[in-house]
């Protein structure tokens, strides 16, 4: 196991190098001139040149690449071009708000989708199965923005159960007061595709030989589903959760904008609109690293869930 982890970490180096080069050259040669963006449309050439010198954009590209790599490994991307706030400080201060929203959403989606999917898989082909799938398809056909607008109007304005917007410095106040409505809306929206996906995982496992063997031994369908199908279906479930995990650290810019949540999703959205390159570059690089580490963690969990899997 240790040798496998070390080998995977070593294999991440060329992948990370490719990501760094791709991001650097995309922003360097295709992202426009940052000096002109910062100076504005009415700036003189002297002002633009002064900004270029201040940002180090007048240096050769390989020197800028070296600075970019140094900033990545020193966890210091300098300051935001627009707010003059340290990029590292932006990550530290915005990430807690994002995790307060996205972690409960992911936990609720997985915790609810697995038993619902098992239930409809157990009653496959029945009216309950068709009804749940029809509801899931209908829920997936509606834009998330519609859920947010309707949810704010019904639960916020009409019923007054939740505040429509707001955030504070208290974690527990945020979790109890401001976070429930966005968490509820996002979890309900995400439950539909996860239920359909997990149902297909369970149904695929029911076609395996070991299921027929268990039935021949006299086990009930409920016992087979619980004791045999569920553990074997956890491998694709873990794969799906691993794909969802990076989104936990990205946040949902729709939720954070409409509910005034000061998270990473809203910050990146604002940075894109402002062409704030340091924030966008830092976010892209660290998200790539996080995705690779999550994939490694998922591979290790495969071995724990199913000892038959050999990590090579």
State the virtual CA torsion across 145, 151, 152, 155 in degrees, nearest 10.
Answer: 180
Mean pLDDT of 209-222: 78
DSSP state of 31: S
Q: Where are the beta strands (DSSP E) in the chain?
A: none
Spatial separation of the C-alpha atoms in residues 69 and 77, rounded to whole Å: 10
**Mean pLDDT, the chain, whole residue set:** 80
Q: Which domains does the chain have, with CATH numbers?
A: 2-73 (no CATH), 87-305 (1.10.3720.10)
Pair 105, 186: CB distance under 8 Å: yes
Lowest mean pLDDT among 77-86, 125-134, 276-285: 77-86
What's the CA gap between 124 and 13, in Å, rounded? 46
% of the chain at pLDDT higher than 70: 91
Decide if pLDDT at 119 tops 70: yes
Counting Cα atoms < 13 Å in the Cβ hemisphere of 204 gives 12
Let me know: does 237 contact 45? Beta carbons within 8 Å: no
pTM score of the predicted model: 0.76
Output the pLDDT for position 312. Answer: 62
């Amino acid at each position: 196991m240790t040798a496998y982890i070390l080998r995977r970490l070593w294999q991440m180096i060329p992948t990370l190098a490719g990501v760094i080069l791709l991001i650097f050259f995309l922003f360097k040669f295709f992202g426009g001139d940052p000096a002109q963006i910062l100076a504005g449309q009415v700036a003189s050439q002297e002002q633009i040149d002064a900004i270029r010198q201040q940002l180090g954009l007048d240096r050769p590209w390989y020197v800028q690449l070296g600075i970019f790599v140094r900033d990545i490994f020193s966890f210091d991307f300098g300051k935001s071009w627009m707010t003059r706030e340290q990029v590292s400080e932006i990550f530290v201060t915005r990430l807690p708000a994002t995790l307060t929203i996205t972690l409960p959403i992911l936990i609720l989606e997985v915790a609810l989708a697995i038993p619902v999917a098992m239930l409809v898989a157990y009653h496959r082909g029945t009216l309950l199965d068709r009804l749940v799938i029809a509801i899931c398809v209908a829920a997936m056909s509606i834009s998330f923005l519609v859920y947010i607008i309707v949810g704010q109007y019904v639960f916020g304005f009409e019923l007054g159960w939740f505040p429509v917007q707001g955030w504070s410095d208290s974690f527990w106040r945020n979790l109890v007061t401001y976070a429930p409505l966005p968490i509820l809306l996002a979890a309900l929206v995400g439950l539909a595709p996860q239920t359909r996906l997990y149902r297909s995982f369970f149904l695929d496992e029911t076609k395996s030989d070991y299921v027929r063997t268990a039935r021949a031994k006299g086990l009930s369908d409920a016992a087979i589903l619980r004791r045999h199908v569920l553990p074997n279906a956890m491998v694709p479930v873990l794969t799906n959760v691993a794909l969802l995990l990076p989104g936990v650290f990205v946040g949902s810019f729709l939720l954070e904008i409409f509910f005034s949540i000061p998270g990473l999703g809203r910050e990146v959205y604002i940075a894109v609109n402002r062409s704030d390159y340091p924030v966008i570059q830092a976010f892209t690089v660290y998200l790539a690293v996080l995705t690779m580490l999550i994939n490694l963690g998922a591979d290790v969990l495969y071995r724990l869930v199913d000892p038959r899997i050999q990590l090579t």
